Structure 1
Amino acid sequence: MAKLYFNYSTMNAGKSTTLLQSSFNYQERGMRPFLFTAALDDRYGVGKIASRIGLQADASLFTPQTDLLKAVEEELETGPVDCVMVDEAQFLTRDQVFQLTEITDKLKIPVLTYGLRTDFQGNLFEGSQYLLAWADELRELKTICHCGKKATMVIRVDADGKPAKEGAQKEIGGNDRYIALCRLHFKESVYS
């Protein structure tokens, strides 16, 4: 039975690494995964999913205008699709998450999504909000705060390393711009 999965976490929990490992597992068994990544994030090259430990794979790009259901249906014309995997799933729109449910429910293809739950201000991303509501299974990937507690939040820092309290929700960056923290240290950074 096909399901829609949302694998979520803060930065640096290994979301992309886990996606790439899952993709490899499908391929190793002679199956064909279809990968998507956000066009917004081109840090590692256009159409690339890359992990901090050096793994990478080519992927189809999605923008807010991309019809994911149509893209998968077109891909099915070239051969079987055994799984759909989406990196940077927080950047999906409500309509795109609905399209992923259609891929699961009507095309009977499992969909594995990977993304952040909240932004640097503690607010849900649109894609994450609807994945949390509509996914069949939620899986939290864990990482730790500098204090050793589980990190559940992320802050954005400026060039001087000070927490940013304002700004656009979507701003691409890595360890130079974002720090994963537990809720206590998130509140101390953002609200003090």
Structure 2
Amino acid sequence: MSKYSLNADNFLCTLPEVLQDDPGMQALASAIACELETLAQKVQLAEIYTHIDDLDETMLDALAADFKVDWWRPDASISEKRAALKASWYIHKHLGTKSAIETAVADYLGDGKVEEWFEYGGEPYHFRVSSKNNANIVAQYDSFMAVLDVVKRCSAVLDHISAQLAHSQKFYVGMAMKVAKTGAITCEPVDVSDVTLLTDENGVPLLDESGNMLTT
């Protein structure tokens, strides 16, 4: 144990030498030293910012009232209360901003996204919230709306809260290939200068039984 620790033995070391040989003063000093050690241990309870994770639920509820955490949920779990208390100073510092609303969304809906009107083409000073945690949207709706009225600007208007649904499915891709070959058929030119048509006495070409002209 360090000689600088706030314990009874170290407190007794501060007793002046002139009083250390007095049994009565020794007894009185020992009693006082024990009480001082107990009080010194309780001093740590005042270290709020660094011991939130060690405080009991009653202390958390009291601190929430002292620090005016208006969106406090008395029925929340102790872990949720600790998270809400840690975030309260940030929210108070950023009241009326998108960041404060996002902090409230994370606290009550678990996850989500806040979009301002110019991000989705809405009316000026409007905003909307979307979240994948559909169960919390239903279960925490009233609580979330209560805190939203505290952290948002009075002129800001919530358009809606939308639930993001996601599921996975198999996706099949098919492909077909066709191979074709084209070609050209050419014929040698025929010299018809030496062909003579057979005609009758009137000069009409003679035809065979199939209608083809007869030549020589």
TM-score, structure 2 normalization: 0.20
Q: Which has the higher contact order (CA 8 A, sep 6+)?
A: 1
Task: Give the number of the structure whose alpha-carbon radius of gyration is greater.
Answer: 2
Going by fraction, where is strand more abundant, 1 or 2? 1
Going by fraction, where is helix more abundant, 1 or 2? 2
